[in-house]
Structure formats: structure tokens, C-alpha cells
Structure 1
Amino acid sequence: MLPDNVYSYDLLRPKYNESLPQTNEPVSVHVVDDEQTVLFGTGFKSGFDHLTSELDKFGGPDVLVVEHADPDHYDALPALVEEYPEAKVAIPELDVEEMQDAVGVDVDIPLTHDEVRWGIRTIHVPGHTPGNMSFLHEATDTLIVGDTFVHKNSFAAASGEWPGTFAPVKASLNADDEETKANMDILLDYDFDAAFLTHGLNVPEHSKPEVKTLVDGLNV
């Protein structure tokens, strides 16, 4: 059963863009509707109409969180800021400059590790990007994963036989692959049950043991 107040939307990827991985897998974004309505990730501009039709059901978002500075997480941000001008933009502080250079959107809230805003705790897991974060909605024990790991059946999964449900992101997509894998165990310091992924199917229950299985597999 999916946790209350947490929602997931699969957005289409743009077609015929040679600079992007060629896959039909959607980009998943997530909404936590608790103290405020918080969107995690924006997807590509190709998914903007679908996304805004869902966000309008909440009266629009209060906060737009970019989990890290990758295009599939910020590409639609300028259009969302124009559509919802009262919404605050938040991104890990170590990725602010890169994202601003890419899309020219001002950041209202640079995020740092292990702070709580809107009922959500930030978890800095560097490697995929310098600022890469996952986010924990503490009321429902839900981890918004970002790209800290992916479902093992995702196009973004590293090659190999992974013993559990999850896999690390493939090395070519990481800023520092060794750091990505070495820092995965940071997540085990936190209590969570559900895992909402950007790449691949969500796991609504018992996801922390699966993350431990992944961490143990990386340490073999």
C-alpha cells in the first residue's frame, strides 16, 4: 500500500534527442502533500502539461525541490517557476551553481545535509553529483530517492547481477562512481519503509532491507 500524502507521477521523456539516453522509461517525480505541497524533481519539459495537470489538483506546489543538478530533474523548472511564481525553489547547495548555469533560475533555498523542512529531512549522499540528495518524509517513513540508487530493471542501473531490488546508477552517469557506491550506506542511518524512485518502480514497503542488500553487495 502506498503511503498517505505521497504521490508519484510518470512523465514522458523527450524523443529524438541524441544527447539523452534512448529509452522509453519515464522519469518519475513525486509530491509530498503535508505541511506544504512539495514537488521532487521536474522531469523534462516534454512532461510539463501532464505534471501541471496533477499539481493543479493540490492548488499548485509550495516548493519545487531539485534533488540534484541533472537535466531530468530540472529541465521543466523554468516553466514551473513561470506557472507557479509563488513556489520556492530548493536544491542542494553544492549543485546550485551548476543548475543555475544550465537554466538560469534563482534558488530560494540552498539545502544542506540533515536539516528538516516541510516535514522532510535532507540526506546528502554525494557521488552521483557533488550535492546529490535523497529526502525522507518522516511522517510516512518514505524515502524520496532521487538518483542515489535505481531499480535494478531501470535503463540507468549499473550492469551486473544485483541480489535485491535495487542497483547503483551506471558509472557513466555518475560524477564520481566510487564515491557514489561508498556513500550509499549513509541511507542506513535513517528509518524508512517506502522508497519512491526516479528511475524504475517504487517499492512501497520494506525497502530499507533492500537498500542494505545493495550496500552489502557493493562491499563484497
Structure 2
Amino acid sequence: MMSKMQYGSDYMKIPAYSMESGNTTEVLPDLSTYTNKIVNLHMVGTPDDGDFVLVDAGLPDSSDEIIKAVEDRFGEGARPKAIILTHGHFDHVGSIIELIETWDVPVYAHKLELPYLTGQEPYPEPDPTVEGGMMAKTAAMFPREPIDLGNNVEPLPADGTVPHMPEFEWIHTPGHTQGHVSLYRASDRTLIVGDAFVTVQQDSLYKTMVQKKEIQGPPVYYTTDWEAARASVEKLQSIEPETAVFGHGKALEGEELREDLEKLADNFDEIAVPSHGKYVDDDK
């Protein structure tokens, strides 16, 4: 039986858009990305058999368009076997309650994210003082109160498997949040990164809008542990992925992906870490 669920008291629509908003891109036959304004959700599974999983749950007040994107790909009345969360920031869980109520499916996240998903703890405050553009400067307005999914969210299995995604494993990639995970399929080296690194400068309103593709570290105004973030990028670079999709920005593949990721790992301080900010100074 579903327990009562509620969003944080500060959850609201965010007036930010990108030119990719509303588009679904097939990256692989069994991996497609739907862009919900400024954030990506991923559908893992082929339309032929209708057996699929949704990764992340978009922005607040977006459930209708997310459901439409799912049904456009998998057919009317389609519903995923589960929702897997890379982490619990508002732009990745913003419509999850409506999706759970519509589909009645289980939700999984890393055990370290559960306090933020069961109403126990708010996330650390975003840092609007961090070096960056307009998105960073308005970050103080972003929701940070925990949502409460009650018993509708479960920890990912400790053995690294991902429920209903038999070929994938989850990799703990903290830094952006404590319990951030990325999902990896070794058979074809496919990586669902989440926000461990992204391909758009997410603190820049203009670059977010036009989705200019450039590899970046995790979104600066929300990342609280830069040493862990660096280690997570190095961990992901070491597996040499062939295809990667992200929480923000366009997919990367092949040599371009590996070269860009190596460049990010080798030059993490210059590319990813802002020159100042509350969480940067904490790490020094």
C-alpha cells in the first residue's frame, strides 16, 4: 500500500527552458533521452517489448509531458517497471509523486540519498555566491527541502545490481550529492552519468538555453564536495565508456567522449572547480 507522499514546502515551477525541451532523442535502440526543460530523463528498454525503466523524474509540474513522452515511445498506457534515481535534487525528482501515483511502480536510489527522499533531511544550501552565470546566481531560489516518498522508495541493492535493468550496475559517484549514482552497462560500455559530469555549462542561462555542448564537471552551485566529485570523474573515466547520456546536455559517444572525459579528469580543477564559493573554500 502506498504511504502518503509530499513534496518539500518550497517546490515550485522553475522558469527555465532550453531549445531541446520536449524532444526525445534515441541514443541507442534501447536508450532514449527526453529533455524536460533543462534536465534529461532516460528511458532504458526497446519499444518492441515495452519492458523499460525510467531514470530520474524531471522538474516540478512536468508529469503530464513525461507521461506523454513515455507513451509516445512505448505506446498508450505504457508504464516503466521501476524508476531509478541518480540522486534526489529537485530537478531529478520534481514530478516523481505524480508518476508513482499514475504508474504504481517502485523507486530506487542509493541508501545515502534516502534521508532527502523520505522527508528527514534537506540538502545543503545551493551556493549562489559561487563563480558562475545567471543560473548560479538564482540558485538560492531552487527547492532544497526534502520530499517524502515514504515507503515508495527503496535502497539500490548493495551488490551493485540495478532492479529491472539486468545488464546494468550502479556505480557510486558522490560529490554532487552524497548518494549520487551513475549506471553502467559493461557489454557495450554505456554510461548513464546523472550529474557527476555534464555536457552543458549548467550555471550559464544562455548556454543552458541553447544547449551548447561542452564537457563540464557537475553543476557548480549544487556540488558540495569537490574532492569526491573529482574522484567520481576519475572513476568514470577509467572505464572508458563508449556512449554516455547526462542529466544536463547532449549525449557523447566514441572517441569524442573518451577524449573529452580524459581532458576533464586531467584538468578537473581548471574546468570544473569554481575559483571561489562556500563549498570550494571548505575543501581547501
Aligned to 1:5: 30
Aligned length: 200
2:161 counterpart (107, 116, 125):
116
Q: Distance in 2 between matches of 1:8 and 1:182?
A: 26
Q: What is the correspondence of 1:24-173 to structure 2 with a 5 Å cutoff?
A: 26-33=38-45, 36-56=51-71, 57-58=73-74, 59-85=78-104, 87-101=105-119, 102-105=146-149, 106-111=151-156, 115-117=160-162, 118=165, 119-155=167-203, 165-173=214-222
The one-letter code of the counterpart of 1:143 is: L
Equivalent-residue separation in structure 1 for 2:83 and 2:219 (angstroms): 26
Whichever residue aligns with residue 3 of structure 1, its letter is L
Question: Matches of 2:65 and 2:56 in 1, distance apart?
Answer: 14
CA distance in 1, matches of 2:219, 2:40: 18
SS of residue matched to 2:92: helix
Using the size of structure 1 for normalisation, the TM-score is 0.80
SS of the residue corresponding to residue 45 of structure 1 reads coil
**In structure 2, distance between residues paired with 1:38 and 1:108:** 15
| RMSD between superposed Cα atoms in Å | 2.5
Q: Distance in 2 between matches of 1:193 and 1:44?
A: 28
Gaps of 5+ in 1: 13-25, 158-163
Residue 115 of structure 1: CA displacement?
A: 1.2
Q: Distance in 2 between matches of 1:156 and 1:121?
A: 32
Greater per-residue strand proportion:
1
Contact persistence 1:41–1:64 (CA under 8 A): yes
- Amino acid of the structure 1 residue aligned with 2:147: V
Instruction: Give the percent of matched residue pairs that are identical in Structure 1 and Structure 2.
Output: 22
SS in 2 for 1:10: strand
Runs of 5+ unmatched residues, structure 2: 1-25, 120-145, 206-212, 271-284
Task: Measure the CA separation in 2 of the matches of 1:47 and 1:205.
Answer: 32
- Residue 154 of structure 1: CA displacement? 3.4
> Quick check: 2:27–2:33 contact (8 Å CA) kept in 1?
no
Structure 2 Cα separation of the partners of residues 187 and 203 of structure 1: 14
Secondary structure of the residue aligned to 2:83 is strand
Post-superposition CA distance 1:61-114 (Å, at most 9, x none): 1110111121111111111100101x2100011001111212221344312677
Report which of the two structures shows the higher radius of gyration computed on alpha carbons: 2
